[in-house]
Structure 1
Amino acid sequence: MEADITGANMGEKAEADVEMTENPFEPYIESVRQQLEDQDPVFLIGVIVALAVVIITCVFLKYFLTSKTVRTAVLLVGLCDSGKTLLFSRLLSGKFKRTQTSITDSSAPYKAKNEKGSTWTLIDLPGHDSLRPQYLEKFKSAARAIVFVVDSAIFQKEVRDVAEFLYVLLTDTVISRNAPALVVACNKQDITMAKSAKLIQQQLEKEMNTLRVTRSAALSSQDGSVGGSLYLGKKGKDFEFSQLPMKVEFLECSARGSKGDEGDADIEGLEKSLAKL
């Protein structure tokens, strides 16, 4: 009989030990629950609201601080032989440098000529059409500004290609959302036959208006709906650069300079634009 009682006691103790092992925090949870029940509901609501405010503030601070620190790149883009690499060298050192067609990106810190002494990462991207997409994808999220370099001397021959590249840039969802400043640098103004920045802008607006119609038609499905493409400009109106979500500026420059290899570049307008970023 005593053995049975002892066995029963040991069994109860074992069950109690198992319960404690399975839920060792139950006493603490019960204590916290009891304390919460004893608190004033208004006080609890205040605590919850305060915690929510702190969490939301942290999220917003992280978002804004990240966006400010990440987007510090100035991208030099354009077709092959537009003068991007020489412009890259002139902006960094002011010196003339013989260049060749780029097959990879080049980057260096660029100190803007302003009172703040702002420093951006200047990145020269390859201009070949087979390389452009991968490098644009790599750097577009970090772009604070995009300098689109145009060869003003042969622009008439390249207007279609220039417009198509610009169209791809401006209809990119990341670029449209971030809205980096766009500077169209009409380079090689030292050449007699160079087109003016105003004329280049007008012709590009016409060409991109045509592109917008043809691209929209190509993307239209059989039921007449259009999907997957960001609409450029304002519907029902001819395209103008002023309709874009980012600041756009056309300016004239000459990376080579009017005095050739030994002379200074004519890039003051571009430097002033970069100083405003």
Structure 2
Amino acid sequence: MASPRNAASGARVTPEVESISSLLLHPLLQDPKFVAAVLAVFLSVVLFTCKPSAKRRVGGRSGTPTVLLVGPADSGKTALFAKLAHGSRTETHTSITPSSTTFSLDSEDPARTAIRLVDIPGHPRLRDEVKRNLKTASAVVFVVDIQALLRNAGAIAEELPPILTTVASASLASGQPTKLLLLASKADLLSRPSPTTPSPTLSASTRQTAADRLSSVLTREMDRLKQSRASTGGRIEGIGRVQSSGGTGLAGLWKRFFGGRGGGDVDDAELEEDETLVWGGRGTFRWEDVEGVEIAWGVSALGAVKAVGEEGEGLDEVREWLRSV
């Protein structure tokens, strides 16, 4: 029988399990360096176990990549859509109904080069449709009629900030950059005198003229828009480069570390769009300041209407860019 001597004598009995409060007062937990190291290890483990893999695209970007054709009305989007997807150019008209198709860039390996192409008309009533599709697109082609650019430069450039803002915000939320091609279409019509039959074959000088015009005019107009926003107290005043579209607190921390919500999905209602992602800091506008968007430039020519299987270099740049999506 156990002796009750210890209890009778009033001796203090040491508990077999220490209380939580005593554990929190352990000297190691009072050392800031030790606590920081433990938190770093914990976050690293969570990062590598919970972050979506590169193959799984966030916000619906899985499977066959989706490429959007956007831009002003009558810029040549539908003609480009028909030429890429069906190999022919037909008469087109302004529409307010988006079109989509899936096609292959390479007949030898259709599965690897499959592209879902979506043509969204430039009608103002379709702005919500454009925005909704931009959030899940793998890549975007902004089509500009290079002949109409000079007379409509301001209106064309004003369509870019909303597109860039949505794409940049979605890219940073998902942790995956979106590709954007700024395309000078109808470049074959720049030659003087104008050809009686437009050809998809572009001379080096014509291609360079179209590329230089597109870059210089759009850059000038985007810089004008930036300075206008700054002078009127817009959101870019005094703002430097924005690293993330996430919010503050734990939700913002989670977005910065893991790209979106815990489950790996981007909720349209939760996606915070921030125009400062487009403009960078003070000074002139620079395309490289646009956050989360890989911007490229291209030139295209389609040739005569109803031409089927026409050879030439008119879409070589576009096809090469699509292969990188």
The TM-score, its normalising length taken from structure 2, stands at: 0.60
- The 3 A distance-change label for structure 1 pair 66 and 242 is closer
Q: For 2:225, which of 195, 206, 211 is the aligned residue?
A: 211
2:79 is aligned with 1:86: yes
- The 3 A distance-change label for structure 1 pair 112 and 149 is same
Structure-2 separation of matches of 1:261 and 1:190 = 16
Asked if the contact 1:170/1:232 (under 8 Å) is kept, the reply is yes
Q: Which residue of 1 aligns with 2:140?
A: 146
Q: For 2:307, which of 257, 262, 272 is the aligned residue?
A: 262
Asked if the contact 2:223/2:284 (under 8 Å) is kept, the reply is yes
- What letter corresponds to residue 297 of structure 2 in structure 1? F
Q: For 2:321, which of 268, 273, 277 is the aligned residue?
A: 273
Structure-1 separation of matches of 2:190 and 2:47 = 59
Structure-2 separation of matches of 1:53 and 1:160 = 47
Q: Deviations over 1:200-225 (max 9, x none)?
A: 1111111101101222444549xx88
Q: For 1:100, which of 93, 118, 139 is the aligned residue?
A: 93
Q: What residue ranges of structure 2 are gaps of 5+ in the alignment?
A: 1-42, 192-205, 240-272
Q: Which residue of 2 aligns with 1:65?
A: 56
Q: For 2:120, which of 118, 125, 128 is the aligned residue?
A: 125
Aligned residues: 223
Structure-2 separation of matches of 1:243 and 1:106 = 32
- CA deviation after TM superposition for structure 1 residue 120, in Å: 2.3
Asked if the contact 2:68/2:119 (under 8 Å) is kept, the reply is yes
Q: Which residue of 1 aligns with 2:8?
A: none
- CA deviation after TM superposition for structure 1 residue 253, in Å: 0.4
2:212 is aligned with 1:198: yes
Q: For 1:253, which of 300, 311, 322 is the aligned residue?
A: 300
Structure-1 separation of matches of 2:133 and 2:306 = 31
- CA deviation after TM superposition for structure 1 residue 180, in Å: 1.0
| % identical equivalent positions | 24
Structure-1 separation of matches of 2:288 and 2:238 = 27
Asked if the contact 2:169/2:274 (under 8 Å) is kept, the reply is no
The TM-score, its normalising length taken from structure 1, stands at: 0.69
- The 3 A distance-change label for structure 1 pair 97 and 209 is same
2:158 is aligned with 1:164: yes
Q: For 1:243, which of 275, 285, 289 is the aligned residue?
A: 289
More deviation, 105-114/134-143: 105-114
Q: For 1:74, which of 41, 59, 67 is the aligned residue?
A: 67
Q: Return the index of the structure with the highest Cα Rg.
A: 1
SS at match of 2:150: helix
- What letter corresponds to residue 262 of structure 1 in structure 2? A
Greater RCO structure (CA 8 Å; 6+ sep): 2
Between structures 1 and 2, the one with greater helix share: 1
Structure-2 separation of matches of 1:204 and 1:55 = 43
Q: For 1:182, which of 180, 183, 186 is the aligned residue?
A: 180
SS at match of 1:100: coil
- What letter corresponds to residue 178 of structure 2 in structure 1? P
SS at match of 2:288: helix
More deviation, 186-195/162-171: 186-195
CA RMSD after TM alignment: 3.3
- The 3 A distance-change label for structure 1 pair 65 and 260 is closer
- What letter corresponds to residue 93 of structure 2 in structure 1? Q
Asked if the contact 1:169/1:175 (under 8 Å) is kept, the reply is no
Q: Deviations over 1:45-65 (max 9, x none)?
A: xxxxxxx99987663247962
Asked if the contact 1:159/1:204 (under 8 Å) is kept, the reply is yes
